Chains A and B, each alone.
Chain A
Amino acid sequence: MEKVLLKNIENPNSADVNEYKKAGGYSSLSKALGLERKAIIEEVKKAGLRGRGGAGFPVAMKWTFASADPKFPKYLLCNADEGEPGTFKDRPILEKNPHLLIEGMAISGHALGAEFGYIYLRGEYPEAKNILNRAIKQAYDSGLLGDNILGKGIKFHLAVHQGAGAYICGEETALIESLEGDKGQPRIKPPFPVNVGVFAKPTVVNNVETLSNLPHIIEIGGDAYSKIGSPECPGPKLYCVSGHIEKPGVYELPMGTTLREIIYTHCGGIKGGKKLKAVIPGGATTPILPPDKIDCPMDFVNMPKHGSMLGSGAVIVMDESVCLVKVCYRILKFLEHESCGKCTPCREGTGWLRNILERLESGKGADGDIDLMLSVSGNMMGKTFCPLGDGAASVVQNFLKHFRPEFEEHIKDGKCKFK
């Protein structure tokens, strides 16, 4: 497949505006500025583009809602807060291809009638911050951002807003709170951000990878784009693969490539030829899968049918040396730390689950602990404002669904045999 998102990144100066233009960059922006707003949204709809942040929401639908709202100004926010453990897919775009994102945002801004955009960048990417700021300045200097883009009388301003180390700010309403200068605690919906978002104005929040697809959609048209990858969920997809794998990294492949192909065809299989024990396919909070369940097409539509989720496309591969009780404990420790504290079931539940898992891992598990974890997680599911609580409950439920004997063994033996 021809590279779209990681195109030209081998060029050491790929982040420079002139190098980007040489490779055909910003021609889609020029084309898009000559199109009616509705026509751009129509192309995105034909393309079948879904949000790449994790939820897979149809982009054109979100855009249509925000466009229909009569309030102005409208805002376009880029979610560059990739914090889901295992996820590093947006980093190559931010660091090596920042103009692709800027072009995508300028096109999207025009389509939405948004005159202001922010890139909410996670605090842990200091290098990306410098690169983005430099790229934005170049874009202003070249007339690609500002009050009169390419002399066509269209206005779009863009700035980087640096987060400060809070996983929850990847959730769009928490991101908005954080951008407004508040704690990153999710808001109840409705109202949805498309109507009442940042500064109480209609707001679209899209992920880095999502927005970076826009130049290609405008270039080849929605119909041609929709032929890439899964028919139900088209486009190129960045999969980031880590853990016990021969060739870890970020891979741009057609959406719907199976997990098995990703691991064995593209990434060279399990590190050192060892045996696969488990895979977390879409970032730490997506349901874990055992080795016999990896023939699943990695897209937003098919993964739920195979018992997991695409999430952020962050594949974490684990060989037989890994203790899954420990991994489960580590994920819950993370979620306890990152729970914003607003909803009681999540704030308390994550702590109790971590507590029980810590007990199991240190050999002090008691009979009934597994049922207790199922009870606690059952009391969290569906009872919180945002998906963090559900994610925490689902991690425990899915580890137990596929690997319960390992948890039972920890209790029976009173120790972790992997230590």
Chain B
Amino acid sequence: MLSEAAIKELEELRQKYPNARAALLPAIYIAQREFGWASPDAYEAVSEALGVPKAIARGVGTFYAMYKHKPMGRNIVQLCTNVSCMILGAEKLVDFLKNKYGLEPGGITPDGRFSMVIMECIGACGTAPAMLVNDDFYENLTEKSLEEILGKYK
């Protein structure tokens, strides 16, 4: 079940569109936030709230990379490795995360502190290599700055 606040948020969102179906993408975002990931229960809640069949909600949701279909860590390290980041050393940062935190692309640390996702260009190419931790941008990364930044996330 979605919380009352989430249902209200969804109702407001719904008013932005001429039909309920168009609110599907934002609804999955809300459910993902509520349930921690785009879980079967999250899709059940979206389906109920919008009157969209669960199979369709899930079918659409799984097309998109930013809905997480497995439990995630408390903080999501989203590191870009596309061309501009790659040629400025992003792969070394991938290795660093692996060696220092045991964090593999698509993986999670045993304590649930971090998950890691390889991103396909986050629009920070001029300040590469770059990443998002949750909703925060970090740019011009080095191994040292990466370690300092991650230290802030518990």
A residues apposed to B, CB below 8 Å: 82-88, 90-91, 122-127, 159, 161-167, 178-184, 199, 240-244, 248-250, 280, 284, 314, 316, 318, 322, 326-327, 330-331, 334, 337-338, 340
Contact = CB atoms under 8 A, between A and B. Distances in A.
15 contacts: A82-B123, A85-B82, A85-B121, A124-B119, A125-B123, A127-B137, A163-B64, A166-B64, A182-B60, A184-B63, A241-B126, A242-B126, A243-B84, A330-B83, A334-B121
Interface in B1-43: 16, 18-19, 21-26, 28-29
Category for how many chain B residues contact A? 35 or more
Nearest to A323: B87
Nearest to B121: A85
A316 B16 contact: no
Contacts of B19: 199
Nearest to B20: A181
Interface in B80-96: 81-84, 86-88
B125 interface: yes
B6 to A, nearest CB: 16
A93 B119 CA distance: 23
Given A85-B121, A180-B22, 16 more contacts: A85-B83, A85-B120, A124-B66, A126-B135, A161-B16, A162-B25, A163-B64, A165-B65, A167-B120, A183-B63, A240-B126, A244-B87, A318-B87, A330-B83, A330-B86, A334-B82
Nearest to B15: A159
B82 A183 contact: no
B83 A164 contact: no
A159 B63 contact: no
Given A82-B123, A161-B25, A244-B87, A330 B82 contact: yes
B127 interface: yes
A259 to B, nearest CB: 16
Contact of A316 (B24, B52, B59, B125): B125
Contact of A249 (B18, B24, B25, B126): B126
A229 to B, nearest CB: 22
Given A164-B65, A184-B63, A124 B83 contact: no
B25 A284 contact: no
B4 to A, nearest CB: 22
Contacts of A284: 82-83, 121
Interface of B: 16, 18-19, 21-26, 28-29, 52, 59-60, 63-67, 81-84, 86-88, 119-128, 132, 135, 137
B66 A84 contact: no
Contact of B123 (A124, A244, A248): A124
Contacts of A161: 16, 25-26
A161 B16 CA distance: 9
Given A87-B123, A165-B65, A242-B126, A181 B84 contact: no
A88 B18 contact: no
Nearest to A75: B18
Tell me which of B18, B63, B135 has the highest count of chain A C-beta atoms within 10 A of its own C-beta.
Answer: B63
Contacts of B22: 179-181, 199
Nearest to A240: B126
Given A86-B84, A164-B64, A199 B120 contact: no
Tell me which of A181, A241, A249 has the highest count of chain B C-beta atoms within 10 A of its own C-beta.
Answer: A181
A165 B83 CA distance: 17
A163 B36 CA distance: 19
Nearest to B78: A124
Contacts of B25: 161-164, 178, 181
Contacts of A87: 121, 123, 125
A389 to B, nearest CB: 17
Given A161-B25, A184-B63, A316 B83 contact: yes
Nearest to B59: A183
A84 B29 CA distance: 23
Nearest to B66: A165
